Amino acid sequence: MTEIPYNTIDLMDIGVLLLDPTLRARFYNRRFAAMWSVRPDQLGPNPAFRDLLACAEPNSWHIAWAPETPWASRGQENAVRAGPVPPTQINFDDGRRLLFSCAVGPHGGRVLTYTDISLVLRREIEEAIDHVAADLRFNTETMENQAAYLASLAEATDENAHKAEAARLALEHEVAERRALEARLREMATIDGLTGILNRAAFLAAGQTMLEQTRGLDQDLALFMIDIDHFKAINDRYGHAGGDHALKHLVATLLGGIRRDDLLGRLGGEEFAILLPATAPETAELVGKRLVDRVAANPTDYGDRPIRMTVSIGLAAALEIEQSIEQTIARADAALYRAKNNGRNRLVTDQQACAAWISA
């Protein structure tokens, strides 16, 4: 691609793509390449915007866009070709948020920007929870001090000892209730209410921390994306209560097949993810295949009827160039999609999925 001195743009945390009037790329910065999983040696100099979209679809955030959405590949190309696009928030099915805009230059070129606002939204939620928890802690500490003062009055003054003791006990009871409320608030913010494992926001936050820690220790990090095969059929046959029973049984089955240090989370619906720290890809592949077999061999009873399940698993190992756990999830999700297409009830690795895509 033509060298352009956009050093400052290359350091921005916003994905930037410059197109000429024929919609061929003149420049894109590192953040754009990372978000779209694009390597310069894949497409050669000045690739067409359509080729960039086609290259990104099986490897990047675009996987989360359903083909019928306005921002799928063809829709995005048509919108950019038509003219300017004001800053528009794109909501992905998996909870992520992307701010996209397109400006038209004086000679007909296009300037496209892509901003990941998922972390901003998640931080706002976490800050709000922390604020409530801080208020609760302040009030709790104040009441504890008051309780201690009343306790000293009870010891020093015989006449008011009974009243002071009653007030102290009442305050201690309220302190216990507030501590329980604080613990419940944090649990609601991090735990999936049905299965008792980490919810999506908590899994992504913990996964980002684990990614940074393993990178600092120069360790491997493997990630499974797991989806129940034909889960809609289970809901249709046994009802939603039966589907919930099946989800809880699956979680118990998965927990019985991984280590205590491994991280299991529910990303939504029947989709789960597992992070395996300090685990080489070859070892993770063996673990994933055992989990596939374990789920298939352990049906659960719902009333007097058995529920049999199988799962498809996509495996990806975190790469040194990846800055966020969402990038690893995207590659594992692509491998999961390949496992579904290859007949389900199996594990497919990121390398196998990429090889199949290139050969196709």
The confidence score (pLDDT) of residue 1 equals 47
The string of pLDDT tens digits covering residues 212-256 is: 998 878 889 999 999 999 999 999 999 999 999 999 999 999 999
Give catalytic status of residue 270 as yes or no: yes
Instruction: Specify if 1 maps to a domain.
Output: no
258 plus 351 within the same structural domain: yes
Higher pLDDT, 189 or 118: 118
The confidence score (pLDDT) of residue 158 equals 61
206 plus 345 within the same structural domain: yes
**Total domains present in the chain:** 3
Instruction: Provide, rounded to the nearest whole percent, the portion of the chain with pLDDT above 90.
Output: 46
Residue ending a domain, among 90, 116, 142, is: 116
Query: Mean pLDDT in the chain?
Result: 82
136 plus 56 within the same structural domain: no
- C-alpha to C-alpha distance for 233 and 344, rounded to whole angstroms: 15
The confidence score (pLDDT) of residue 24 equals 94
Confidence of residue 3 (pLDDT cuts 50, 70, 90): very low
Residue ending a domain, among 116, 137, 171, is: 116
350 plus 216 within the same structural domain: yes
Q: What is the mean pLDDT of residues 119-144?
A: 69
The residue from 57, 182, 270, 326 that is catalytic is: 270
Q: What is the mean pLDDT of residues 119-135?
A: 66
Confidence of residue 360 (pLDDT cuts 50, 70, 90): low
- Strands 271-277, 263-268: pairing is antiparallel
Q: What is the CATH number of the domain that holds 247?
A: 3.30.70.270
Who contacts 109 (Cβ-Cβ below 8 Å, separation ≥6)? 18, 19, 20, 21, 26
The confidence score (pLDDT) of residue 2 equals 44
Helical packing angle, 200-216 and 325-341, nearest 10°: 110
The residue range of the domain holding 157 is: 120-190
128 plus 94 within the same structural domain: no
pLDDT > 60? residue 168: yes
- C-alpha to C-alpha distance for 226 and 274, rounded to whole angstroms: 8
Higher pLDDT, 11 or 15: 15
The confidence score (pLDDT) of residue 66 equals 46
233 plus 341 within the same structural domain: yes
Q: What is the CATH number of the domain that holds 105?
A: 3.30.450.20
Phi, psi (degrees; rounded to nearest 5) at 17: -135, 125
pTM: 0.54
| Highest-confidence segment of 3-12, 129-138, 342-351 | 342-351
pLDDT > 70? residue 293: yes
218 plus 351 within the same structural domain: yes
Instruction: Specify if 55 maps to a domain.
Output: yes
